[in-house]
Structure 1
Amino acid sequence: MSKRIALAIDSLAGGGAEKIVLTLAREFKRLGHEPHILVLSPHCDYALPADIPVHFCFDKGQRHIDGLLTQHLAVKKVKQWIASLSSLLGAFDVFFSNLDRTNLLLTKAQVQPLYCVIHNAIEEELKRELKLGPLAYLAMWRAKKALNHQQLITVSKGIENDIIQRKRIQPASIQTIYNPFDIDAIRHSAELPNIEIPDGDYIIHVGRVAKQKRHDVLLSAFAKMQTQLPLVLLCNKPRKALALAKKYGVADRVICPGFQDNPFPWIKNARLLVLSSDYEGFGNVIMESLICNTPVVSTDCPFGPNEILTQAFAQFLVPRREPATLADKMEQALVAYPPIGDTDIFRKIDIEYSATQYLKLIP
């Protein structure tokens, strides 16, 4: 029986969670269901699907909708928005909520049946916000506290285990469903021509310019390498990235083409992909790189990389915040890397397998 599925998220900015929501929606549609993408704010870097309805709640100029003083108004609007959609379309069989703001507002609006998808390392996010000050920490903590007594889906076993062991959050239920990847579509997209891609060998990093991604560690490691290859940074703030590259003396070897809706030809043609993050939820780009048959070196950050880079690939996990070690492993990977095949993790992240795990949760 076809199910009406709501996939809710903060925005469709160019991040990993946003890409996962779009991927899941397409697969639910292919499997004969009726997905709807519910977006709080109309910030869209990704192209909107032509055959899947996308609904926006707040106007472009509305900010701080989940602030302490404005939250009650936002919750009221979300309730009215969902009631209006349900009246027009029929009741939704399930809501899959993604990212902090959406999780907070949908839980406060008492939307049911609801599953909150956790895309990042909760304790690491809280540590980061604490460094920014008490107000930032309290805002983050409000969003995390809203997960109490909710049904949670985590995108890696590391996140699930951390929540269970820390006991900061007491979920009604919790389980891991790995992020879905359309392996055939990624490999097809990787073959599409792109005249912007540099001729010759290069190293690549894909990720927004944010403290979590540690571009400072990446560029420091890059500066220490003896191999003088260019570094391509696919990111959302190329000017900021180039300014940071200048600080580390490598701006002349860094290429910043900006955000790419299709990063896969860039990844496929690279000699090596590097992840330098302090923390992740899963590390989507690692999986995408392996699918494109491109070697990966990654920090062994919580969580995800050590669930992907296992067995022979585990030697290319390095401690966080160690540029010299990262540089050494990058050099090693350029010389010799294990053959990349469809290992067990490929089965677990297969798009139909992941989507089926979600569908089993629908009442």
Structure 2
Amino acid sequence: MMKSKDKENKIKIALISYSLSSGGLERVIANSSIMFNEMNIEVDLHILEAEIHYPFAGTIFVYDIKNKSILEKIRKYELLRKNLKNNNYNLIIDHRYRLSPSSEFFWQYYIYSKQKVVNYIHSSVLLHYFSSLNRKLINLIFRKRLFLSVSKEIESKVKINFPSQKIKTIYNPISFSKPEIKPEVQKYIVTISRMDFGNTKQVDVLLECFAKSKLPNNDYKLIIIGSGEKQTEMELLAKQLNVSNQVIFKGFLENPYHYLKNAFFTTLTSKYEGLPTVLIESLMLGTPVVSFDCETGPNEIIKNEINGLLVDNQNKIAFIEAMNRMISEPELYQKLKSNAVKSVEKFSIHQIKYEWEKFLNKEIINDKY
């Protein structure tokens, strides 16, 4: 149980994010606010853009800086700085990308002046969090900061590339509503993938693999949950691959869990990840998974031929073979399915709360930050 910093006062935490919109990172932040609230921690969210799609707990401050003039942005940032200072947070948890050295000087030494801050790393692409900074400049900007990562593999990469930085891994909290209805489709596989310009989730690769697999001819559908700028392009690709009748684009769904629960298996074809929450959620709901072994996270979740099939990174032929095995080897499939729930116990909300309790007791209560 977490000790109280002051018997009369709760620990108070601020979460910083760009939005709470339709992405996986944003869902993690919303889930974090709910988790902290359940831990009897007072939590505020400071959101830079006015996009709120996910349910959250605590008090929210929305700054709406998107598409604003420079002068308006300065005023918004000054308000953010004032709010962070006046609320006397025990800890600020920053979930932003950190792409610009000048911007980070501004954030770390002005916005966060004399405050206790941890900077989260959610992706294996370290340039998204350290920009193109050399080690000397990174040490100068972040010399009094601690980093948290969402996977052990990210933690190892940071230790190798930036050995002077303090970093610890705490897995993402998983919180979802129990599925209540069955989808109208009887036989299908599913992916939850945002289709943005960067094409990080590579829905095009999944469509190609699906079209070349045995699944369409065995009456399996592919349900794609997610939206983004490339959705129209992906719909056209499905037509070009002659599988448009077997592919269903559902768009963004706040609660996709009945689709995960009732899928034959869940897929992931990303270029890279941080910790792919969808794989954990799928397994928690008893649905096995097929995934590229991309950086980072899938190999911390999937035990090959135990709870899913882990495919050599970006090997399309191997991915097609893995999809085919799921429908052609029933004994293997039943083994994966029966192991699914138990295999992700280390990601349970109870375990993640315990890790946060240990962290907060050490870094805040005992003041060893």
Output the CA distance in 2 between the equivalents of 1:92 and 1:259: 34
Deviation at 1:328, TM superposition (A): 0.8
Output the CA distance in 2 between the equivalents of 1:296 and 1:354: 26
Output the CA distance in 1 between the equivalents of 2:30 and 2:68: 24
Gaps of 5+ in 1: 64-69, 127-138
- Deviation digits for residues 101-159 of structure 1, max 9, x if unmatched? 59946325351200001000124869xxxxxxxxxxxx953699767433100000000
The answer for the alignment partner of 1:4 in structure 2 is 12
The answer for the alignment partner of 1:220 in structure 2 is 208
Deviation at 1:30, TM superposition (A): 1.6
Q: Which of 258, 263, 266 is the aligned partner of 2:251?
A: 258
* Between 94-103 and 249-258, the greater mean CA deviation after superposition: 94-103
Q: Which of 206, 209, 221 is the aligned partner of 1:230?
A: 221
1:330 aligns with 2:316: no
Could you say what secondary structure the match of 1:46 adopts? coil
1:119 aligns with 2:129: no
Deviation at 1:290, TM superposition (A): 0.1
Distance 1:198 1:142, change over 3 A: farther
Deviation at 1:353, TM superposition (A): 2.7
Q: Which of 199, 213, 216 is the aligned partner of 2:185?
A: 199
Output the CA distance in 2 between the equivalents of 1:192 and 1:151: 41
Distance 1:252 1:289, change over 3 A: same
Could you say what secondary structure the match of 1:212 adopts? coil
Distance 1:314 1:190, change over 3 A: closer
Output the CA distance in 2 between the equivalents of 1:3 and 1:301: 37
Output the CA distance in 2 between the equivalents of 1:34 and 1:125: 29
The answer for the alignment partner of 1:278 in structure 2 is 271
Deviation at 1:80, TM superposition (A): 3.6
Output the CA distance in 2 between the equivalents of 1:266 and 1:120: 26
The answer for the alignment partner of 1:83 in structure 2 is 82
Deviation at 1:214, TM superposition (A): 1.1
Letter of the 2:318 counterpart: T
Gaps of 5+ in 2: 5-9
Output the CA distance in 1 between the equivalents of 2:271 and 2:80: 37
The answer for the alignment partner of 1:15 in structure 2 is 23
Output the CA distance in 2 between the equivalents of 1:322 and 1:79: 48
Letter of the 2:64 counterpart: F
Letter of the 1:216 counterpart: D
Percent same amino acid among aligned pairs? Answer: 26
Output the CA distance in 2 between the equivalents of 1:200 and 1:5: 44
Distance 1:357 1:220, change over 3 A: farther
Output the CA distance in 1 between the equivalents of 2:12 and 2:227: 33
* Between 280-289 and 353-362, the greater mean CA deviation after superposition: 353-362
1:294 aligns with 2:287: yes
Output the CA distance in 2 between the equivalents of 1:294 and 1:84: 43
Output the CA distance in 2 between the equivalents of 1:234 and 1:267: 10
Deviation at 1:250, TM superposition (A): 1.9
Letter of the 1:318 counterpart: V
For this pair of structures, how many residues does the alignment match? 331
Q: Which of 36, 46, 58 is the aligned partner of 1:52?
A: 58
Output the CA distance in 1 between the equivalents of 2:164 and 2:47: 27
RMSD of equivalent CA atoms: 2.9
Distance 1:4 1:75, change over 3 A: farther
Output the CA distance in 2 between the equivalents of 1:5 and 1:251: 47
Could you say what secondary structure the match of 2:339 adopts? coil
* Between 304-313 and 290-299, the greater mean CA deviation after superposition: 304-313
Output the CA distance in 2 between the equivalents of 1:35 and 1:155: 20
Contact 2:35 2:173 in 1 (8 A): no
Deviation at 1:332, TM superposition (A): 1.1
The answer for the alignment partner of 1:359 in structure 2 is 360
Distance 1:109 1:17, change over 3 A: farther
Contact 2:194 2:226 in 1 (8 A): yes
Deviation at 1:347, TM superposition (A): 2.6
Matches within 5 A, 1:30-69: 30-47=38-55, 49=56, 52-62=58-68
Letter of the 1:283 counterpart: P
Distance 1:39 1:119, change over 3 A: same
Output the CA distance in 2 between the equivalents of 1:143 and 1:281: 22
Deviation at 1:235, TM superposition (A): 0.9
* Between 275-284 and 339-348, the greater mean CA deviation after superposition: 339-348
- Deviation digits for residues 305-341 of structure 1, max 9, x if unmatched? 0011126437711122222211110111233322225
Could you say what secondary structure the match of 2:251 adopts? coil
Larger Rg: 2
Instruction: Return the TM-score normalized by structure 1.
Output: 0.81
